[in-house]
Amino acid sequence: MYVYLRIFISIMVYFTIIFLPIETTSDQSGLPTQPPPILEDTYFLEVVPVYNIEIADDLEVKDQRLVYKVEQQVWYYGKGDNRQVALTFDDGPDNYFTYQILDILQEYDIKATFFVIGSNVERFPEVIRRIAHDGHVIGNHSWSHKDFTKISPNSMGAEIVKTDEALNSIIGKKHTNIFRPPYGSYNKEVLETVHSLNYNCIYWSVDTKDWANTPITSMIKTVSSQITPGGIILMHCSGSNGAMRNVVKALPEIIETIKDLGYEFGTIPDVLEFNQQVNHQNLREL
């Protein structure tokens, strides 16, 4: 009787171990599942699979920061003396779509301007190194993408400075004193704070509305109908999966459309002629 009891208990233990639900970090495919996305007042960020690409920690970047004269205004577009426009990408980096955008820009030999979120810079240092290494201009887009019109000047300053420090720690001084307010939202107090920290405030003249999952044909139509010499085009390199897939598909067509219209590409300092520190009258003031 005792022997049968031991056999029965052994069988029960065996089946309990086999069928007991156990929490794991893998799905049915056996691949690790991603942690839930952390939203920090950014545009609809989603966790996505990563490329198996790593940028070496000792990647060489120039340790010389370009600082431009600060104008007490918001820059919407350049003077337009030549047919040059700027592609700008907000809210990155991420470790999936940003790589694809960088590859496209590299294929077309275009230098763009990236307004980066500090928390993403800290999260994906290898991507910001790639951006710097490829020669793109890097600007500040705050630490957590909060609406600056709804927070105090001290909080604004902390958002900008913390992002600046994160960039310094990863790429040295390979970024410059240009800032784009989250959501494009600003008022007099925001501008006073941004300018007091020695940053130029950059807006845009063409909004592709790519973040809203806008159809590719609509984005191309917007760009072709609104672009002018000195134009600044707003796009994103991080966001919802659906929207960013559209961006990656649309970007080559947008580039080809702009080139067919006879324009060349430059960075924000190029288009705004920051090296010449020109102060002209076609910029909107608050």
Q: Is the residue at 8 inside a domain?
A: no
Q: What is the pLDDT of residue 133?
A: 97
Residue 236 is a catalytic residue: yes
Q: Is the residue at 146 inside a domain?
A: yes
Where does 91-193 show beta strands of DSSP type E?
113-116, 137-140, 178-179
Percent of the chain with pLDDT over 70: 73
Q: Which residues pair with 264 in a beta bridge?
A: 84
Q: Is the residue at 198 inside a domain?
A: yes
pLDDT, tens digit (0-9, with 9 covering 90-100), for 81-112: 889 999 999 999 999 999 999 999 999 999 99
Could you say which of 141, 164, 236, 270 is catalytic? 236
Query: Can you tell me the mean pLDDT for 128-141?
Result: 98
CATH label of the domain that carries residue 254: 3.20.20.370
Contact criterion met (CB below 8 Å) for 43 and 145 = yes
According to DSSP, residue 26 is labeled B
Which residues span the domain enclosing 239? Answer: 74-276
Nearest one of 232, 226, 234, 231 to 210, comparing CA atoms: 234
Helix (H, G, I), strand (E, B) or coil at 143: coil
Could you say which of 90, 164, 207, 210 is catalytic? 90
Of the pLDDT bands very low, low, confident and very high (cuts 50, 70, 90), residue 30 is very low
Of the pLDDT bands very low, low, confident and very high (cuts 50, 70, 90), residue 244 is very high
Q: Is the residue at 38 inside a domain?
A: no
Query: Can you tell me the mean pLDDT for 59-64?
Result: 46
Q: What is the pLDDT of residue 8?
A: 56
Q: Is the residue at 69 inside a domain?
A: no
Number of domains in the chain: 1
Whole-angstrom CA distances from 116 to 74, 86, 89, 284 are 18, 16, 8, 24
Q: Is the residue at 285 inside a domain?
A: no
